[in-house]
Structure 1
């Protein structure tokens, strides 16, 4: 028990220290798992293995590059728009401060809070984010290289799994289940993320909320963050609606987002994901906190696939650990 705990602590510390490397490696691995059926389909259509791998890697790289370019433009637009609402924000803060003071809340505390609410600071933060986005380009090149090598290695994965199955069948089954579950989760999450992002963007455009495309992109990205992704995608457009048009547009944005999220992600999406994840809501939330702490924003986005991988390697391969699978909310433990 003590030895296992020590090993877990050392492993966690190593992952934390090497997060700059571990994060992109996990991202490349999960992307390869997600798109591997496309490569198999291209091979069945007669495309040479090298050409299928190259085409797939270039397609993924193109999508990632477009996402980064859109992100750069979006952050630049946001940094340019925020100062325009400084006066309106000051008026709202002053009104809220007076209202809270009437309720008997200490004035000194309110003054400290209002001093921290500065759109100029937020614009500066947005500018620094824009400056740091350039670092994503080098990360994308690194991920592209990993994708290329992992995609080449992926062609031998079935044979290696078959070899593993001869000696450790439980390990082979656990890894195969992890790949299928992760692939299904990512595909369904991506499809519904696109659907919600498009609907959110259209709704914001109809309401006249500025930067509707930016908030649609944010809704798509935060859709991968379990539990709190919806809130992360809702707060910025709701606040901008408040600054731009007052309380009524903000309430409309909140209501529309809540309805779309409930229908798409609470009623429809679980039917397609089914038991692919097999994690309880509490475990998913704890996984989000853990991986975000370990790997930053990338860890938050990849929290579910990373947890499924850890579950496959630590629980599903060992029949004696089925009790742990039951605690996590997994199906039968493997």
Structure 2
């Protein structure tokens, strides 16, 4: 890589970091538009006037997300109000664990740093601040969705190889749709499982599992911690172990079996690249970057593949395939 190319990459990274507060809303708007575009096309292909199909899709989106926000916010407030009680129980449990560790000459000081429920409270507070910017996202989606029918024509006019770009956007849309479907299944089964065991706020933790499942590698692990912790302080170690096993079974069944089977080999990104892209895009865009690490890396890969000079860099992002 020449000095000029290195400088260009460095400037691009700095620009992305500087513009992140604005680009986050663009990324979220594109995400929801990609999810809603097939619904819009479905209504349009059934003979509905385009304007009616547009408003049906948009208002349906606003109604569903609005209902989810109201329910989650209500559960979050109730959880925050009861948090001191759960923290007291959790501290009592830690005291018993410290006594157990002392008995076997193990260092119990590490337990003093554990505050799972406090971390969850901070996450919910940050999630609430994200929801406050939802109005901007809705406005962005309304414009992008209205122009979604002509977007392919614009790409065709812009690109020398429109079929290449069409295949790319189809892959991104496929990823988002499948990930949303598997995340919904994960959240649904987690919520039902917690409800069956009587764990409080089953819907809230089911929704948390749905949202965090978009984060590759670590999302499902993070989502399991608060549910297991609450089962532990509410019912004890046996129930917590069963809840942990069910979390593991649900995530293995969906993320490691069902999702790869549906997804296929379309993404063509190595596992190591997925992990490091999680770190990189998380640094650039914060929490939003971790959710969209894979599609953002796919976009970067497309940009590298579009030029013969950078095509070898795109190969480094791909999974290795032996030639037969």
TM-score calculated relative to the size of structure 2:
0.89
Quick one: distance in 1 between partners of 2:201 and 2:123?
17
How far off its partner does 1:149 sit?
1.6
Cα distance change on mapping 1:138 and 1:253 into 2, 3 Å: closer
Secondary structure, aligned partner of 2:133: helix
RMSD: 2.5
Give CA-to-partner distance per residue, 1:249-288, whole Å, 9 cap, x none. 1110111111111112111111111123221211111111
Quick one: distance in 1 between partners of 2:148 and 2:138?
15
Structure 2 residue corresponding to 1:193, chosen from 183, 186, 193? 183
Quick one: distance in 2 between partners of 1:140 and 1:106?
46
Q: Is the 8 A contact 2:35 2:177 kept in 1?
A: yes
Match of 2:146 in 1: 152
How far off its partner does 1:331 sit?
8.5
Query: What does 1:155-234 align with in structure 2 at a 5 Å threshold?
Result: 155-165=149-159, 168-169=160-161, 172-234=162-224
Q: Is the 8 A contact 1:192 1:264 kept in 2?
A: yes
Q: Is the 8 A contact 2:212 2:220 kept in 1?
A: yes
Give CA-to-partner distance per residue, 1:146-203, whole Å, 9 cap, x none. 11221233222222233234xx21xx34422221111111111111111122211221
Cα distance change on mapping 1:174 and 1:74 into 2, 3 Å: farther
Q: Is the 8 A contact 1:189 1:224 kept in 2?
A: yes
Does residue 122 of structure 1 match 2:118? yes
Quick one: distance in 1 between partners of 2:132 and 2:89?
39
Quick one: distance in 1 between partners of 2:198 and 2:316?
47
Match of 2:266 in 1: 276
Quick one: distance in 2 between partners of 1:137 and 1:94?
37
Does residue 239 of structure 1 match 2:232? no
Higher relative contact order structure (alpha carbons within 8 Å, sequence separation ≥ 6) = 1
How far off its partner does 1:321 sit?
3.8
Secondary structure, aligned partner of 1:305: helix
Paired positions, count? 320
How far off its partner does 1:2 sit?
2.0
How far off its partner does 1:114 sit?
5.1
Match of 1:317 in 2: 306
Q: Is the 8 A contact 2:152 2:166 kept in 1?
A: no
Give CA-to-partner distance per residue, 1:4-57, whole Å, 9 cap, x none. 222222222222222221111011112222322222232222223333223322
Cα distance change on mapping 1:267 and 1:209 into 2, 3 Å: same
Structure 1 unaligned runs (5+)? Answer: none
Match of 1:92 in 2: 93
Structure 2 unaligned runs (5+)? Answer: none
TM-score calculated relative to the size of structure 1:
0.86
Query: What does 1:53-72 align with in structure 2 at a 5 Å threshold?
Result: 53-72=54-73
Quick one: distance in 2 between partners of 1:211 and 1:152?
38
Q: Is the 8 A contact 2:36 2:145 kept in 1?
A: no
Q: Is the 8 A contact 1:205 1:212 kept in 2?
A: yes
